[in-house]
Amino acid sequence: MGKIGFWQLLLDDRVSHWEAQSINAAHDAADHAASTAEAAQFKAHNTETRVNNMAREIVFLRTALTVLVKTLKDSKVLDERLLDARLEAAIEEATASLPKLPTGPVSMNEVLASKQGTPVSVKLTCIRCRNQVPASSTLMSQDGPMCERCPA
């Protein structure tokens, strides 16, 4: 349903002025939301295109480098082991100057492992005295958790 125009509003008794205002306001809000979503989609698409282009360039560079190194090695004009050692050292140096990768946990296992180090103190409510007590100091009775101070 489109916006309600001035003439439609004037000629149609079924639409009160107030209703028309509300409908038009809702229409504007929907328009705004749609254009915001569109802008976000456009940004995401741009980023994807850039990442794809970079991935393609990396493939080109890697191929060129591989061919170059292989040709150099085959031509026997240089010491293969020396080249390898130099490459390794240079790559190590270059990697050191790269921005650090985020240091958070990278897998669910790591998250679990880090959680085990710090015991979580779960509190339970004793069914008898209604006190909040550490779960480790409760006994599970038929009716629920009960603290040590409340003998069954």
Binding site for Zn ion (CB under 5 A): 126, 128-129, 147, 150
Cβ 119 to Zn ion, closest distance in Å?
Answer: 22
The whole-angstrom separation of Cα 57 and Cα 64 is: 10
- Of 124, 126, 108, whose CA–CA distance to 116 is shortest? 108
Cβ 133 to Zn ion, closest distance in Å?
Answer: 7
The whole-angstrom separation of Cα 47 and Cα 41 is: 10
- Of 139, 129, 128, 140, whose CA–CA distance to 148 is shortest? 139
Cβ 134 to Zn ion, closest distance in Å?
Answer: 12
Assess contact for 20 and 9: CB atoms under 8 A.
yes
Assess contact for 52 and 44: CB atoms under 8 A.
no
Judged by beta carbon, residue 27 or residue 128, the one nearer Zn ion is: 128
Cβ 150 to Zn ion, closest distance in Å?
Answer: 3
Judged by beta carbon, residue 65 or residue 129, the one nearer Zn ion is: 129
Name the residue with tokens 């493939």.
Answer: 59
Judged by beta carbon, residue 20 or residue 150, the one nearer Zn ion is: 150
Cβ 142 to Zn ion, closest distance in Å?
Answer: 15
Helix (H, G, I), strand (E, B) or coil at 145: strand
Judged by beta carbon, residue 12 or residue 148, the one nearer Zn ion is: 148
Q: Which residues contact 74 (CB under 8 A, 6 or more apart)?
A: none
Judged by beta carbon, residue 107 or residue 132, the one nearer Zn ion is: 132
Q: Which two tokens stand for residue 57?
A: 């360039």
